[in-house]
Amino acid sequence: MALQTEAGERQFVEIEFTLNGRTQRATVEPRELLLDVLRNRFRLKGTKRSCDMQVCGACTVLVDGQPVSSCTYLAFEVNGRNVLTIEGMARNGKLHPLQEAFIEHGGFQCGFCTPGMILAAKALLDANPDPSDEEIVHFMEGNICRCTGYKPILESIHAAAKKLPTAKA
Amino acid sequence: MIRPFRLEEPKTVREAAGLLRRHGDGARVYAGGTELLLAMKERLVRCDRLINIKKISALDRLELEDGTLRIGALATHRRLEESRVLAQCLPAFVAMERAVANVRVRGVGTLGGNLCFAEPHSDPGTLLLVLAATLVAEGQDGRREIPVENFFLGPFETALGGDEILTEIKIPVPPPGSSAAYIKFGYLERPSVGVALFLALDDAAEGITSARVAVGSAGPQPKRVFEAEALLQGVGVTEAGRRIDQAGEAAARAAEAVSDIHGAADYKEHLIRVLLKRALARVIEDCQKQTR
């Protein structure tokens, strides 16, 4: 990562990172938030701004496989790292088993929390392929849904876990 | 949107301290950023220079050395939550970390950052007070150790000097026959009240040889409650049970509870009394389990 200065005042940073499997480069100001860079620079609108204070989980993306709140995460920090957004979940036109499970089990209604829910659930299942209800609740309690009452989300994650029997292999 | 700032990425603590000294109040130390960035987004703090200390090596270590846990200031909550060494020597600390905010904050936020930000509604400081922790600060003039009792001066205010960085948190591993608990209550993202208790019992697990009590979140800063400790220390566990209401009163007074979005002052005082009673039962049970 190169720290650059322009006209003495404003500072720019060159970053290179993997975004949904592809290498990307960007020039950002240190103050720019990952959420804004994803939505405005890369036009990836699946990542939502909601509470803007790391409480609700709607802006969740994975950085090196770990969930972060992109609303409160400086974009330059992804330099050299791997970023996954909801747009990177489907492969070759086929939805990820978590996406299929959320559809099948009604894991959403309005859908605003869903990208964050699915990414958080992916991080959980990657580390723990067969989580208990309690483990799911502990991991997912920072992702808020105002529609479903959470039960269909639990069911969706269990169903996806069954479809991904060798997730850890 | 965050106001423009210059990013600095020092490679050593000495270099970071130099930047802090040179730039004064406009410079902010940046670790996980989970609290600082919120304040910057809301423009509640001035920041002309952001000093990213994550490029300094060895600030995130976690090791057990001669009966002392040495935790680098940059260790994330998540790392502490998942540490096997910690789970073995300090299960109460792991339980506390497991319940900090949410998985995203724990993955990015650091223990050192949490302590230095000194947001009153917070968990780790209260528990560290009963674990007799020492905080290591380094500045241009050298390194010093600050007992955690002397670290918090008030809301968002610590004993760190203008060019000092918190580098390490040292916790002595509690001896066998002792135990600690941290119990909190809240209905928002942050706790309304947190109560911590440490007890060491004698060989028969009947008498309390050492007691430390702390309260946090309710008032301006986490505090030891010496009056409550004096009530519990040197008495049998049954007598401690009789005295716990009185100890709870002392803790409620010491907390200097304030009314805020997290609850009214008298409500928080009530919670402190209840949580201390629960903590006593839990810690005694845990100590006695060890001797059985």
Judged by CB atoms closer than 8 Å, whether chains meet at A72 and B1 is answered as: no
Q: Which two tokens stand for residue A65?
A: 């496989």
Q: Which residue of A has its CA nearest to B8?
A: A3
Q: Encode pLDDT of B121-174 as tens digits.
A: 999 999 999 999 999 999 999 999 999 999 999 999 999 999 999 999 999 999
Token pair of B196 as six digits: 């911590």
Q: pTM of the full predicted structure?
A: 0.96
- If contacts are CB pairs under 8 Å, which of residues 80-119 in chain A contact chain B? none
pLDDT higher than threshold 60 for residue B11: yes
The predicted model gives B254-267 an average pLDDT of 97
Q: Quote the pLDDT of residue B63.
A: 96
Confidence band, pLDDT 50/70/90 cuts, at residue A165: low
Distance CA B140, CA A127 (A): 42
pLDDT at A10 (0 to 100): 85
The residue in chain A having the minimum alpha-carbon distance to the alpha carbon of residue B9 is A3
Q: How far is B254 from chain A (nearest CA, A)?
A: 30
Q: Which residues partner with B80 through β-bridges?
A: none
pLDDT at B292 (0 to 100): 72
pLDDT at residue A8 in the model: 58
Element spanning A27, H or E: strand A22-28
CB B89 within 8 A of CB B64: yes
User: Rounded to a whole number, what is the distance in Å from the CA of B92 to chain A's nearest CA?
Assistant: 17
Contact criterion met (CB < 8 Å) for B189 and A68: no
Long-range contact pairs involving B203-207 (C-beta distance under 8 Å, separation at least 24): B203/B177, B203/B291, B204/B291, B205/B177, B205/B237, B205/B287, B205/B288, B205/B290, B205/B291, B206/B236, B206/B237, B207/B234, B207/B235, B207/B236, B207/B237
Q: Determine the straight-line distance between the first and last CA of chain A, rounded to whole angstroms.
A: 33
Backbone angle region of A167, left / alpha / beta, with phi > 0 → left and psi within -120 to 50 → alpha: alpha
DSSP state, residue A108: -
B88 burial class (0-12, 13-18, 19+ CB within 10 angstroms)? exposed
pLDDT at A150: 97
Minimal C-alpha gap between A129 and chain B (Å): 17
Q: Does B1 touch chain A (CB under 8 A)?
A: yes
pLDDT in tens, B212-253: 999 999 999 999 999 999 999 999 999 999 999 999 999 999
Q: Name beta bridge partners: B243.
A: none
Q: What are phi and psi of B113, to 5 degrees?
A: -60, -40
pLDDT at A169 over 50: no
CB contact under 8 A, A3 and B7: yes
**Cross-chain residue pair A30–B107, CB shorter than 8 Å:** no
- The first and second tokens of residue A161, run together, are 């876990």
Residue closest to B131 by CA, chosen among B93, B157, B184: B93
Asked if the model's pLDDT at residue A5 lies above 60, the reply is: no
Q: How far is A30 from chain B (nearest CA, A)?
A: 6
- A39: three-class secondary structure by DSSP: helix
CA angle B132, B137, B139 (to 5 degrees): 165
pLDDT band for position A167 (50/70/90)? very low
What pLDDT does B291 receive?
79
The two structure tokens encoding residue B15: 């270099």
Checking if the pLDDT of A6 tops 60, the result is no
| Distance from C-alpha of B70 to C-alpha of B60, rounded to nearest angstrom | 10
Q: What angle do CA B181, B184, B190 make, to 5 degrees?
A: 135
Read off the amino acid at residue A166.
T
Work out the average pLDDT over B110-116. Answer: 98
For residue A159, give how far its alpha carbon lies from the nearest alpha carbon of chain B (Å).
Answer: 22
Share of chain B above pLDDT 70, in %: 100
- Whether B34 and A54 lie within 8 Å, measured CB to CB: yes
**pLDDT value at B197 more than 90:** yes
User: For helices A151-163 and A133-140, what crossing angle results, to 10°?
Assistant: 110
Tell me what the mean pLDDT of segment B256-271 comes to.
97
Question: Distances from the Cα of B198 to the Cαs of B129, B142, B184, B232, B254, in angstroms?
Answer: 9, 32, 15, 11, 17
Best B46, B104, B188 member to test A by mutation, with max A CBs in 10 Å, is: B104
For the cut 90, the answer to whether the pLDDT of residue B288 exceeds it is yes
Percent of chain A past pLDDT 90, that is, above it, reads 91
What would the pLDDT profile of B57-103 be if each residue is shown by its tens digit?
989 999 999 999 999 999 999 999 999 999 999 999 999 999 999 99
* Averaged confidence pLDDT in chain A: 94
- Is the minimum CB–CB distance between B76 and chain A shorter than 8 Å? no
In this prediction, residue A166 carries a pLDDT of 61
- Give the B window 41-60 contacts with A, CB below 8 Å: 41, 50
Does the pLDDT of residue B276 top 60, yes or no? yes
The reply to whether A131 touches chain B by the CB within 8 Å rule is no
Distance from CA of A75 to the nearest CA of B (A): 12
Of A3, A30, A123, the CB nearest to B5: A30
pLDDT tens for each residue of B37-52: 999 999 999 999 999 9
Quick one: which of B195, B187, B186 has its CA closest to B252? B195
Q: Are the beta carbons of A68 and B104 separated by less than 8 Å? A: yes
